[in-house]
Amino acid sequence: MAIPEALFRTLVQFAPDAFIVTDRGGTIIFANAQAERLFGYDREEMVGGRIERLVPERYREAHEHDRVRYTSAPQARPMGIGLQLTARRRDGSEVPVEISLSPVYSDDDRYVAATVRDVSERRTMESALRSSEERYRLLAHNAEDVVYRISLESSPPTFEYLSPSVTQLTGHPPEDFVHNPNLFIEITYPDDRPILQRWLSAPEKFDDELILRAVRPDGTVIWHEQRFTPITDADGRVIAVEGIARDITERIQLEDERRLLIAETEIERERERIAADLHDGVMQTMYSVGLQISSILRRVPDLPESTREGLNTAVTSLNEAMTDIRRYVMDLRPADFTGDLTESLTALARLFETTSGISVQLNVTADKPDVDESAAVELFLLVREALSNVRRHAHASSVTLSMDESDGELHVAIVDNGEGFDLATKRRDSQFGLRNMETRARLMGGTLDLQSTPGEGTSVCVALPLASPDAD
């Protein structure tokens, strides 16, 4: 029994990646729906055309040479093997991709199946990571320092000198520390006070670096790094400490952000690898095996009935296994940006509703808004982050996702009916999710307005400038 054509088309049509099959001469004989979305061509335009149409012009000659060489000795080529590949869309724009190739045999003919994956999101994440690292280096280079000298001959220890920049660091002017010798201990974060006490008692037992937290008068917590030198008298007794204190709060936050970005990137890569192993390797091999069994059933009509039944059972099992694998792949690779912002947000909202059980109301009046593609990707990721926060923290029963255009701007809002939170406290605690959304808004050249009240839900509103209609 041959694999039903309808089942095969369903499997590849709903695959998360573009799937294209070519003959020996490089002519496209099949393309799925994701290929249409990725490249911007209708299926009828793609089928019958040369595969080089999807390659940037500067690479076409080399691609044709490589294709002929591959066809002469085809073998499976997995994704993620270090090649920096670029595909060309119908409108001439280019997109970074990863491509896997697999030969497919049917009767006496041979074809090449190509799976093409848009890796724009991953590249964006990697770019954000590089940007984070650059900001980290600039901050460390330009930080303002506090110079001090602490006498250890009094109890409690007292500041003999403290530079004015301590006001910016702690919120207290130098004279406050003179009038209240215990102030240094009082403003230190409670969990860090034992460390400070041990340092003041025997600074020579510490390395020349000490990191502590302090609480400013407004309740914000800051991190400061001490670089110091114990000062001794003629008898070798430690009588003072001289040093420099530096505010490293943003550096700590950036380090946390960088670690989370690295972890997020690695998780995404691992998910893609697993999905690729299932879809590009196992599933295509199973499909090829099914074709070969079906070919035997057609070409050998006088097979014993028991043998024929066994082969038909094997084909049925392969069909069921491929259906299961398709479900696994879709679970591993959630809705991604397809190139169309409206379409992508709609798919994201429906996927969120299905997986979270939270009702989503869509109010999208902006159809194909005129925004740069890189900004559209960032906006999509920001909305995905906001919905993720709703699912994890809001305890909401419904959320509204709206997108409209007005006053030369694109406005996107995510509003939930959840439990809300105290905005001042959440910002003081420097939640990574909020910082991540604010960072993405800045990368787009837009603004983010976050509003929340305990018991009244949360709204995340993004305003993004639209391209000028007079722009060339």
Per-residue three-class SS string for 118-157? ECHHHHHHHHHHHHHHHHHHHHHHHCCEEEEEEECCCCCC
Q: What CA–CA distance (Å, rounded) separates 297 from 295?
A: 5
Residue 79 DSSP symbol: S
List the single range of 4-18, 89-103, 162-176 with lowest mean pLDDT.
4-18
The 10 Å CB-count burial string (b at 16+, else e) for 384-398 is: bbbbebbbebbebee
Strands 398-406 and 94-106, sheet pairing: unpaired
Other Cβ atoms less than 10 A from the Cβ of 87: the count is: 19
Is residue 450 helix, strand or coil?
A: strand
Record the tokens describing residue 208, joined without a space: 């020349």
Enumerate long-range contacts of 132-140, CB under 8 Å, 24 or more apart: 132/254, 132/257, 132/258, 132/261, 133/258, 135/254, 136/251, 136/254, 136/255, 136/258, 139/250, 139/251, 139/254, 140/251
Q: Which residues of the chain form CATH 3.30.565.10?
A: 341-465
> Could you give the C-alpha distances from 226 to 136, 263, 421, in angstroms and in order?
18, 29, 35
pLDDT(297) > 70 = yes
Q: Which residues of the chain form CATH 3.30.450.20?
A: 5-124+259-332, 144-247
pLDDT at residue 429, rounded to an integer: 47
Contact call for residues 99 and 106 (beta carbons, < 8 A): no
Residues in the chain: 472
- Which burial class, exposed, middle or buried, applies to 67 when counting CB atoms under 10 A from its CB (0-12, 13-18, 19+)? buried
Taking all residues of the chain, what is their mean pLDDT, rounded to a whole number? Answer: 83
Contact call for residues 64 and 52 (beta carbons, < 8 A): yes
- What is the second-level CATH architecture of the domain 5-124+259-332? 2-Layer Sandwich (3.30)
Q: Which amino acid is at 436?
A: N
Of the two residues 337 and 447, the one the predictor is more confident about is 447
| Confidence at 260, pLDDT banded by 50, 70, 90 | low
Q: Which CATH number fits domain 341-465: 3.40.630.30, 3.30.428.10, 3.30.565.10, 3.40.50.920?
A: 3.30.565.10
CATH annotation of 144-247: 3.30.450.20
Q: What CA–CA distance (Å, rounded) separates 356 from 399?
A: 11
Q: What CA–CA distance (Å, rounded) separates 196 from 188?
A: 8
pLDDT at residue 80, rounded to an integer: 57
Q: What CA–CA distance (Å, rounded) separates 75 from 73?
A: 7
Contact call for residues 269 and 122 (beta carbons, < 8 A): yes
Residue that is written with structure tokens 């919120």 in the block: 171
Q: Nearest CA to 379 among 268, 435, 459, 463?
A: 463
- Per-residue pLDDT reduced to its tens digit, 18-76: 989 999 899 999 888 889 999 999 988 999 999 999 999 999 999 999 888 888 888 87
- Per-residue pLDDT reduced to its tens digit, 164-202: 889 999 999 999 999 999 999 999 999 999 999 999 999
Question: Could you tell me the maximum CA-CA distance found in the chain, to the nearest angstrom?
Answer: 107
pLDDT at residue 183, rounded to an integer: 95
- Per-residue pLDDT reduced to its tens digit, 315-352: 888 878 777 666 565 555 445 667 788 888 988 898 88
> CA 79, 87, 286: angle at the middle one, nearest 5?
35
| Confidence at 269, pLDDT banded by 50, 70, 90 | low
- Which burial class, exposed, middle or buried, applies to 22 when counting CB atoms under 10 A from its CB (0-12, 13-18, 19+)? buried
Q: What CA–CA distance (Å, rounded) separates 21 from 28?
A: 6
For residues 304-315, give the mean pLDDT. 87
